[in-house]
A and B are shown apart, each in its own frame.
Chain A
């Protein structure tokens, strides 16, 4: 954890978004992670995505569990409330926060230890419950803070920094998320910001559980030969199914384009975005096909990245519970307390 606030100093020519916030306004405290950590790149991508989407920083609730990844909410959106909860339990706390106020944007940040080991149950149930959230796992396949133990996403046969071979099967959170009913599922790589930023934007705009598994090499403990989560390994085995960009605000996500076709789009801020499909026959609107494709590629040792599945007509937990439009934390006494008269009638029925 850091206690170093960033200086207020910023470049005078930073361009603000339409709300008047510069990208600097979406930053947080100074990161205390190791130099070169993939997680810092992900934080930077998240900051970029939120800035470009022009979400007022205080309308975001940043939630995390415990671990290197779970420290990062402190390093972004300093004007947002954040909650660094207990190990593996971010999903339940996020669920409760979401129930209390459906109007905020919920960003859950977790790691592979936090979500695939101690928190696998909560990960699964928050996804199947349809909580409206962006759930990012910063996946390095290793326990960093406790110095280099294998995590549950370490691939079978991969080698630790000390030369130990992992004999346990690795958990693929993307496959699980698909199976559990997530309505937005993507995988990306911390070293590929061009792919990651638009994915985060699309996830933040998605209604329902949006899951991004982001491979994020650990420069201290999992960036050596024999690791399947190192920068070199991921770059060599990365197979992107598509490149996706998002037009703000709240554009539909286009998934019905031809193979190889590129569409160019001009955003509000003048940047050019493109929608480009890379893998032929890949259809991100087909959950079953996505699972089959992933399994086939995994057997070849390839890491599939991109937007793997999206259901644009998704619903969330509040739809299921049919809650009122007003956030529950804003209801007044008279909307909550039935009053003395009701009690009298109840008493009468209990005699």
Chain B
């Protein structure tokens, strides 16, 4: 029988039961491989449930640093009887099945084209532990030990990680080390190593492993946010919780007083209302949410646009519409965020591609909000938000100051500077504002969502309204120069074909470009990093005959925005869309682009793989 043989390049998938304590053991497994110098891409696949339903953890071990989801499974760790059949079916031919062999299973429960590796985990644990809770939790560590022996992870690396994890509870260190060795010892005594092996390498470098939500929250701290109002919603909740943790650590005075205010509001409407109130009053404020929250916030986002009040929204996108697939990933809030609000509105969006950019853009968004006096969206998704990703270390330039934008001070007003809250003094469409209470007699104005003249006086005069709407467009033009520029990867050979992608699609896209090149398909690739699109994006499209637009939603939302904003011929932009809730893969992109290269651009693609 064929057995897959691979070193530092294979996929291990853990099938577990939600709430069984497996998450921490699986994380330990991934971390140990990273510490062996081998890059890892790890993803949780979990249901909207607290305890009892199936959950998976997929680890791609990739010395070459391919951090997108690969698809397919080489080694299945099947710990959940509920999903046994589909888990076994998912294994690549020649792959491996690891299972708890305590209770015998009939032969029809297995496949003949895979290698089956049984370890009597329950029996080992029952012999050693008495308490049911211990039996359950240590079973997870026992399988990590067994797997380490099977695929060649240095036990010392895992021991060190366990020692760090339980530094605060030293009693547990020894017990965990013991469980680890029980698993490894069983394998050494009874089984042979698999064809899949981890070998120490140096390909991780100084990269770090963290969640995009944490990174974005840290970005908010570095961006000077002092007010956070939020309402719990998957997958954004951990962003607010991370902000709380970082603020406790870095924004607390020695006497315990807080240089921040965090309010868990009664709903998303109140959350954004608090953010708008704080922004109006000169504090940097944000909320974090997901699609359903954006729907609720829409009226306030329109107010922020029209009354020109800084606000930041982190949108950690999940599967929609409606409640959709709350624990699955998508990039499907683009249109609703970009054009949120009734009447003519548009809002800047930032598209980070990984936790490092979540941090960077998270901090930047507050400068942009103050500079542009409007709502800035930072568009994460569940894949990068709730999974730990390997990324470049976070960096900060201490010489950099926060950009508070155009704020008129007491001294400016005293010096007799003309203050018109909606007056375009500099020709960039951005007016000056005052914080409340700046000056006893000058600089006060009445903020409203109704039409007004440049001096903030109510007006329904048609020409006054039109002038203001035109100024808002000029401001949006200015935004083009401020949002992060797109990044281009030129093909090795000159080509008339291009591809545009963004956000968490990046790692799969980068891998796909390499694979396509080996097939003789050369594409210039542009990663857009924000909206409004800069001229560079439109030039890129103009300079190619055909530009594929890759995204993780059903309707090709980025493509619609490109067509809408750039007056692009739709035929020029073939659409590739992956939206089944799992992260897009290089395999999918390669197959779609290969198919489309000869086919008409309007072909409707299959649903995701």
Contact = CB atoms under 8 A, between A and B. Distances in A.
Contact of B227 (A74, A79, A328, A342): A328
B395 A343 contact: yes
A93 B280 contact: yes
Interface in A1-44: 1-3, 5
A251 interface: no
Interface stretch (A81-89, A203-211, A255-263, A293-301): A81-89
A347 B393 contact: yes
Given A58-B444, A92-B265, A347 B283 contact: no
Interface residues of A, number: 63
Interface stretch (A95-103, A137-145, A150-158, A228-236): A95-103
Interface string B203-225: 01011111000000010011010
Contact of A3 (B262, B273, B402, B459): B459
A348 to B, nearest CB: 9
Contact of A340 (B266, B269, B283, B397): B397
B510 interface: no
A336 interface: yes
A96 B229 contact: yes
B402 A1 contact: no
A219 B444 CA distance: 32
B408 to A, nearest CB: 13
Nearest to B251: A336
A335 B459 CA distance: 41
A94 B275 CA distance: 10
A156 B277 CA distance: 36
A97 B458 contact: no
Q: Name the residue in B218, B398, B459 with the highest tally of chain A Cβ atoms < 10 Å from its Cβ.
A: B398
A189 B358 CA distance: 54
A312 to B, nearest CB: 24
Contact of A81 (B207, B256, B445): B445
Nearest to B461: A3
Nearest to A125: B266
Interface in B440-479: 440-441, 444-450, 457-459
A346 B279 CA distance: 29
A97 B436 contact: yes
B398 A340 contact: yes
Contacts of B300: 86, 89
B395 to A, nearest CB: 7
B208 A351 contact: yes
Contact of B457 (A3, A58, A61): A3
A280 interface: no
Contacts of A318: 261
Contact of B279 (A96, A103, A342): A96
Given A3-B459, A89-B269, A94-B277, A100 B283 contact: yes
B268 to A, nearest CB: 10
A87 B455 CA distance: 24
A324 B437 contact: no
19 contacts: A58-B444, A83-B446, A83-B448, A86-B300, A86-B449, A95-B277, A96-B283, A97-B280, A98-B277, A99-B261, A99-B278, A100-B283, A121-B266, A317-B263, A328-B283, A329-B281, A340-B395, A340-B396, A351-B208
Given A81-B434, A97-B436, A323-B258, 8 more contacts: A84-B450, A86-B273, A101-B283, A328-B227, A335-B259, A338-B222, A343-B394, A351-B207
